[in-house]
Amino acid sequence: MRIPRRPLAIHRHADHAGTLALGIGLGTVAGVAATVGPRVASVLRIGKGHSSKHRVLDVACALMQRKRPLDAMSTYLNGLHMYADEMGRMVEATHFCIHLRADLHQCVIFDRNAADARLIGIEYIMSEDRFRSLPHDEKQLWHSHHYETSSGLLVAPGVPEPAEHLYIEDLVSTYGKTFHTWQYDRADFPYGILQLMMSFAADGQSDPAPIAERDHRLGVSTRRKRQDRADIPTPGVIAGANGWESGRSVQTRLQQCP
């Protein structure tokens, strides 16, 4: 009498299904670990020296909360800003930006791209058409991006050159309004009132030494990017922007109000 083999086949299918389910489960765990692990490690590293209670709370929040505005930040840019009333004070600015509307980007700015980076400011970026419609007093707060982009000072680290080129084409005609809340070039704590910042607008205005150091650290070349962007048309600057070039600048001041 022959022993039927169908049950054996069923067992084999069951074994295969179990193996597949186990593989999927392990893959899911590995994927979660790959995502969660670095996040927890960063929180613990930054929280070194904090109380145990605060470290536990920080890790729990990192794992359980959704930070949707942060998740929506799609672009990482590195540039250099100067204080509106002190061109000689140049600081590096690491932007993380959301393209909120067709004519508006919004960025948070840190001193560097690191888990323990210091939050130093914000920048809004608007289209040329919207800037043109602004009243004169508002225009004084804005700077053009025509030189920052075409000169290679503004970079998108890690993005392939063709994609970065397309992004720069969109930014070259835009205008930015930037305030720094931490004068990290002078203080190790966010003292003082927020400061209006500007962007360089011509050759000879910026210090080449910090730019060379930035380029070496990020693995980019401002000179080469300038050459690669030579084919991007550079628009004229609309009157009212880059007010500091006229010899008169605006800056925030602390004023007592009745």
33, pLDDT greater than 50: no
CA angle 160, 75, 114 (to 5 degrees): 95
Taking the C-alpha atoms of residue 107 and residue 122, their distance in angstroms, rounded to an integer, is 6
Assess contact for 217 and 155: CB atoms under 8 A: no
Predicted confidence (pLDDT) per residue in 51-94, tens digit: 777 777 777 888 888 889 989 999 999 999 999 999 899 999 99
Instruction: Please report the beta strands in the chain, taking only residues with DSSP state E, as ranges in sequence order.
Output: 75-83, 86-101, 104-110, 119-126, 143-144, 175-180, 195-198
Residues 14, 16, 17, 23, CA torsion sign: positive
Residues linked to residue 91 through DSSP beta bridges, in sequence order: 81
Give me the pLDDT at residue 44, please.
61
Task: Determine which of 10-14, 88-92, 194-198, 208-212 has the lowest per-residue pLDDT on average.
Answer: 10-14
Taking the C-alpha atoms of residue 166 and residue 161, their distance in angstroms, rounded to an integer, is 9
Give me the pLDDT at residue 42, please.
65
For the chain, what percent of residues have pLDDT higher than 70?
81
Q: Where are the domains of the chain?
A: 8-64, 68-246
230, pLDDT greater than 60: yes
Q: Which residue has the tokens 């009498």?
A: 1
Q: Which residue has the tokens 């704590």?
A: 189
The separation between the first and the last C-alpha atoms of the chain, rounded to the nearest angstrom, is: 106
Amino acid letter at 158? G
Task: Give pTM, 2 decimals.
Answer: 0.81
Q: Tell me the residue length of the chain.
A: 258
Higher local confidence (pLDDT), 2 or 208: 208
Taking the C-alpha atoms of residue 133 and residue 128, their distance in angstroms, rounded to an integer, is 9
The burial class, CB within 10 Å (0-12 / 13-18 / 19+), for 42 is middle
User: Mind spelling out the 3-state secondary structure of 111-173?
Assistant: CCCCCCCCEEEEEEEECHHHHHCCCHHHHCCCEECHHHHHCCCCECCCCCHHHHHHHHHHHCC
Give me the pLDDT at residue 25, please.
42
Q: How confident is the model at residue 8 (pLDDT cuts 50, 70, 90)?
A: very low
